Structure 1
Amino acid sequence: MKDDQRIQLLKELLLELHHGASPESIQERFEAHFTGVSALEISLMEHELIGADTGITFEDVMKLCDVHANLFKKAVQGVELADAEHPGHPVKLFKEENLALRATLLRIRRLLETYAETSDDEVRAELSKGLERQYGLLGQFERHYRRKEELFFPVMEGYGHDAPPKVMWGVDDQIRDLFAVAKQSLQDKLSSNPSQVREDFEAFAVEFESMIFKEESILLMILLETFTQDDWLKIAEESPAFGYAIIQPSQVWQPHREGFGVEKAEPTAEQSQIIETPDGYLTISFQPKEGQQKLDRQTAQAFGKGYLSLEQADLILNHLPMEITFVNKEDVFQYYNDAVPTEEMIFPRTPSQIGRNVELCHPPKLLPKVKRIFTALRSGEKDKFEMWFKSESRGQFVHVTYKAVRDAQGEFQGVLEYVQDIAPYWAIDTDFYREIED
């Protein structure tokens, strides 16, 4: 079947859904014509039909997503996809968050509509409080996006899918900007211009719902076809550091894993082999290669101006009152310290980010600034950059430094970033203090 014929059939199926047909009733016809077509192809066709002069809505496509999700499950029948329906699995949580966020959108729409229809001041005051609560819940989509950007995207890049994360992250930032406008509009214009508040909210909601479509019918389908169970386990382990939107996991996902307890025999110090030749027997002796020696973390070694063991150096770095990140001269994110748990970090870092190009660790809108900083530090134009800002929500005064790291010969070896909350120092109001007096 040609692409234009498939699009026409897809249109017919979507219109049937639009007019009340159940997804189950069209499953067989869908499978007959779309088996072997990738999630990406089908989703792009669906996206082409939304917004066209077809009468097909976002909700219709969301219904069909269940149909072709079933198709892909059957096409790659196996251990990995079945896990995605288990409580606590990152995919199930991701979808549950989207459901909760869409329910919040609907509640806000009803509240705004009711607000516009009433002139009673007391009723409007209660509706205003309700809107503030619902906007607060909706704002938790930031956690949903952060997990996607910081945990899903690095694994995608590891499999060679660099372009989709960049595009989606850029759209995420546009949606963040639209929400900021909608939220400010609620604060400033609700009583004086409620129609403008609704207009600003809908500008956000349209793009937000479109992103839900892209996440569930394109992104997750690609991930389910690509990621391994170990990938999902790592994502599940690191997810709490970024939090969840509205919902909380009801249980920890613990997939069944088969254990294989066959132990390898210890190699002997020396082994030999006897080979028969026409003139007699030849004995060949050989020494097996030893495995990689375990890294000694306890023995002190020459270190800077003194002596430290690897274990001591690690402890010292983790006890510094600042967050440290090192990006090497190849622009690869190579190290960060564990000064505080990830969920308490000013700039959250997770193990999945190690090995990523530094450009992929930042939102697209920040890339020009990141490139300028690294170019200036690499060339020697500048030795360091400093910046600071107040975080009213967290009560922090954040100070950030990007410093060029050079070796004894002056050769550029990378960039050290150190971040600290200087609010406690900013609050010092005396010239002298000792906790322990003489």
Structure 2
Amino acid sequence: MEKVNMKDYLNINFELIDKMTEIKKNYIEGTVDIETTRNLIRETFKGKKITPAEFAYSEQKIKDLGFDDATVHDKMNDVLDLFDEIIIREESDLPEGHPIKTYLKENEAGKKLIAEMKEEANKKFIKNKWLEYYDKLYTFNLTHLARKQHQLFSLLETKGFDRPSRIMWTFDNAVRDNISEARKLLQEDKIDEFLKKQEIVWELTLDIMHKEEEILYPTSLKMITEEEFRNMRNGDDEIGYFLIEKPEGFLPLKKEEKLEKIANTEAAQTGNFMSDLAGLLSKYNMNGNSGKSDVLDVKQGKLTLEQINLIFQHMPVDLSFVDENEIVKFYTDTKHRIFPRSAGVIGRDVKNCHPRESVSSVLEIIEAFRSGEQNEVDFWLEMNGKFIYIYYVAVRDENGKFKGVLEMMQDVTRIRGLEGKRTLVTWERPKKSDIKAEESKNSEKNDQKENPYGLTENTVIGEIIDKYPYIKEFMPTLSPTYKKLLDPIQYMIMSKVATLDMIAMRGGFPVEEIIEKISEKIKSEENKK
């Protein structure tokens, strides 16, 4: 991929950059200690400030000097701390929905959550309270870090900003791993180990937020255009958000809005090649919207582009393809996706799609496939109660020439548990007609008041527990979601407003099933008397 020089995007002081890079180089090499470096910075930059963009550009120059990521990573915290007092804090008035404002709002919510956790740590330990905290904090991995790595980093790489993002990815993984490890200790009731783990979890999470706000976000605002930020929104929405609602506004501009904006900016004076090209293709019916129903010759058969896309969307596996130049070209937009992805990954160097510690394995696979030494390799792991199977296969043309790598991921938890055989049609889920018939039947039963305890979908859970106290302890045996009933504060709220319909929805049950299970429990307890 052709890299765009960062100098095209950043208004930087090259004299300061050179001085900063030299100081960093000497410290990373170990020729000067930390105090000497700190004093040298104060003398060199006396009365001067550097911008986050200049700091980031210096990081890119460090790469050009031949330092590997591991060496820089080990010194990165010290380097950022050394230059901290001379970095300008830039304030930006960003509109609602702007991706950077969203990241900042998430950081604010994350800091508030950690402050609550620190306060809770000084109180009597209540497991349910900590489970609730970690249900929230764990989504930092799944949303905030995932969006940053797959959306923001990928766009920055197209600007030549790849070294700082790759190093930050390693810091991200330290955060992710420690949050996951702490959560597992809590779930396994290893309370002493869990509590000892908290300080490092808080420190690493707050530290990564600091690095983002000091360097990553200000530099991103310098390098990424408004249109690129707007186009980022769809992928951001697909991955999700941390502790905040889906933001409103700042969506991609419609065609008419783009044309109006171009007409009112200097960009109109220089022309817009992509818009002109799109218009030309449209004029001759060659744009992306045409050919949707055209029949294409595939290896075995004839399919339209729409059919091809539908097939990929419905495959019960997660596929991605990296071409012979190690560029990500494709992934399947399927509900069976294992790890978060977004459109920002397309066109990205595959080395930059993995944390530093995984890159060597990725390159080893590609080289073994490229040389013809190997044709396939597989891996498997357990994650969040699921057994994930990962398979890589070399893609070659009819002449055996290497054309890329196809990756397949699949949740095989159910498959691993199959035994014996099934040779007759057996539906895992009831037919829609059967569901309607059952609903009608249940409705008739309700009308006939066959439920001896008078439970309906509108019955409030607190009323049931007041009459049958043992139901409070019984509910968590149906689903971990119902453990909130054991927390006095949560129960005080839920007991007044949560109907069985709401309770069933939270636990993922049909309301009829919840009513049936509670009724059976009540009947069982009454029979003991």
Q: Within 2, Cα distance between the matches of 1:401 and 1:94?
A: 34
Q: Within 2, Cα distance between the matches of 1:137 and 1:307?
A: 48
**Corresponding residue for residue 517 of structure 2:** none
Unaligned runs of 5+ in 1: 13-32, 53-57, 74-81, 116-123, 264-287
Q: Within 2, Cα distance between the matches of 1:261 and 1:199?
A: 55
Q: Within 2, Cα distance between the matches of 1:189 and 1:388?
A: 26
Alignment equivalent of 1:318, drawn from 303, 307, 313: 313
CA contact (8 A) 2:317 2:337 kept: no
**Corresponding residue for residue 399 of structure 1:** 389
Indicate yes or no: 2:355 matched with 1:355: no
User: What are the within-5 Å matches in structure 2 for residues 90-105 of structure 1?
Assistant: 90-105=99-114
Instruction: Read off the aligned partner of 1:103 and give its amino acid letter.
Output: K
Residue aligned with 1:68, SS: coil
CA gap 1:357/1:254 in 2 versus in 1, 3 angstroms: closer
Alignment equivalent of 1:240, drawn from 210, 232, 237: 237
Moved more, 384-393 or 253-262: 253-262
Indicate yes or no: 2:31 matched with 1:39: no
Instruction: Read off the aligned partner of 2:260 and give its amino acid letter.
Output: F
Instruction: Read off the aligned partner of 1:350 and give its amino acid letter.
Output: S
CA gap 1:355/1:114 in 2 versus in 1, 3 angstroms: same
Q: Within 2, Cα distance between the matches of 1:181 and 1:290?
A: 53
1:206-231 deviation per Cα after TM superposition (whole angstroms, max 9, x unaligned): 22222111101110000011111122
Indicate yes or no: 2:294 matched with 1:299: yes
Question: What is the TM-score normalised by the length of structure 1?
Answer: 0.69
**Corresponding residue for residue 388 of structure 1:** 380
CA gap 1:428/1:373 in 2 versus in 1, 3 angstroms: same
CA gap 1:50/1:363 in 2 versus in 1, 3 angstroms: closer
CA contact (8 A) 1:87 1:249 kept: no
Q: Within 1, Cα distance between the matches of 2:114 and 2:343?
A: 34
Instruction: Read off the aligned partner of 2:148 and give its amino acid letter.
Output: K
CA contact (8 A) 1:93 1:249 kept: no
CA gap 1:417/1:51 in 2 versus in 1, 3 angstroms: closer
Instruction: Read off the aligned partner of 2:291 and give its amino acid letter.
Output: D
Indicate yes or no: 2:328 matched with 1:333: yes
Residue aligned with 1:69, SS: coil
Q: Within 2, Cα distance between the matches of 1:188 and 1:309?
A: 51
Q: Within 2, Cα distance between the matches of 1:240 and 1:182?
A: 28
Question: What is the TM-score normalised by the length of structure 2?
Answer: 0.58
User: What are the within-5 Å matches in structure 2 for residues 31-110 of structure 1?
Assistant: 37-41=50-54, 68-70=89-91, 73=92, 82=93, 84=94, 86-110=95-119
**Corresponding residue for residue 217 of structure 2:** 220
Q: Runs of 4 or more off by more than 6 Å in structure 1?
A: 1-7, 47-52, 288-291
CA gap 1:379/1:292 in 2 versus in 1, 3 angstroms: farther
Alignment equivalent of 2:227, drawn from 212, 230, 235: 230
CA contact (8 A) 1:185 1:200 kept: no
CA gap 1:290/1:435 in 2 versus in 1, 3 angstroms: closer
Instruction: Read off the aligned partner of 1:411 and give its amino acid letter.
Output: K
CA gap 1:431/1:235 in 2 versus in 1, 3 angstroms: same
TM-superposed CA distance for 1:420, in Å, is 2.4
TM-superposed CA distance for 1:255, in Å, is 7.9
CA gap 1:68/1:404 in 2 versus in 1, 3 angstroms: same
Alignment equivalent of 2:425, drawn from 429, 432, 435: 435
TM-superposed CA distance for 1:363, in Å, is 1.9
Instruction: Read off the aligned partner of 1:172 and give its amino acid letter.
Output: D
CA gap 1:311/1:187 in 2 versus in 1, 3 angstroms: closer
Structure ranking higher in strand proportion: 1
Indicate yes or no: 2:338 matched with 1:346: yes
TM-superposed CA distance for 1:380, in Å, is 1.6
CA gap 1:253/1:137 in 2 versus in 1, 3 angstroms: same
TM-superposed CA distance for 1:160, in Å, is 0.6
**Corresponding residue for residue 131 of structure 1:** 130
Instruction: Read off the aligned partner of 1:129 and give its amino acid letter.
Output: N
TM-superposed CA distance for 1:176, in Å, is 2.2
TM-superposed CA distance for 1:154, in Å, is 0.3
Moved more, 314-323 or 220-229: 314-323
User: What are the within-5 Å matches in structure 2 for residues 359-378 of structure 1?
Assistant: 359-378=351-370
Q: Within 2, Cα distance between the matches of 1:189 and 1:310?
A: 52
TM-superposed CA distance for 1:51, in Å, is 6.7
**Corresponding residue for residue 122 of structure 2:** 113
Residue aligned with 1:398, SS: strand
CA gap 1:104/1:290 in 2 versus in 1, 3 angstroms: closer
CA gap 1:379/1:236 in 2 versus in 1, 3 angstroms: same
Q: Within 2, Cα distance between the matches of 1:374 and 1:190?
A: 41
1:80-99 deviation per Cα after TM superposition (whole angstroms, max 9, x unaligned): xx4x2x22221122111111
1:175-233 deviation per Cα after TM superposition (whole angstroms, max 9, x unaligned): 22333444455566865x4xx65542212322222211110111000001111112211
TM-superposed CA distance for 1:367, in Å, is 1.2
CA gap 1:387/1:110 in 2 versus in 1, 3 angstroms: same
Moved more, 368-377 or 179-188: 179-188
1:323-350 deviation per Cα after TM superposition (whole angstroms, max 9, x unaligned): 221111111111122233xxx5213332
Instruction: Read off the aligned partner of 1:352 and give its amino acid letter.
Output: G
Residue identity over aligned pairs, in percent, reads 25
TM-superposed CA distance for 1:290, in Å, is 11
1:283-339 deviation per Cα after TM superposition (whole angstroms, max 9, x unaligned): xxxxx9996652534333433233333333333333332222111111111112223
The count of corresponding residues between Structure 1 and Structure 2 is 352
Indicate yes or no: 2:167 matched with 1:167: yes
Supply the RMSD in Å over aligned alpha carbons. Answer: 3.9
Q: Within 2, Cα distance between the matches of 1:180 and 1:261?
A: 45
TM-superposed CA distance for 1:155, in Å, is 0.4
CA gap 1:170/1:250 in 2 versus in 1, 3 angstroms: closer
CA contact (8 A) 2:233 2:251 kept: no
Q: Within 1, Cα distance between the matches of 2:339 and 2:258?
A: 37
Q: Within 2, Cα distance between the matches of 1:48 and 1:293?
A: 57
1:358-400 deviation per Cα after TM superposition (whole angstroms, max 9, x unaligned): 111122221122112112222222211122334344xx43322
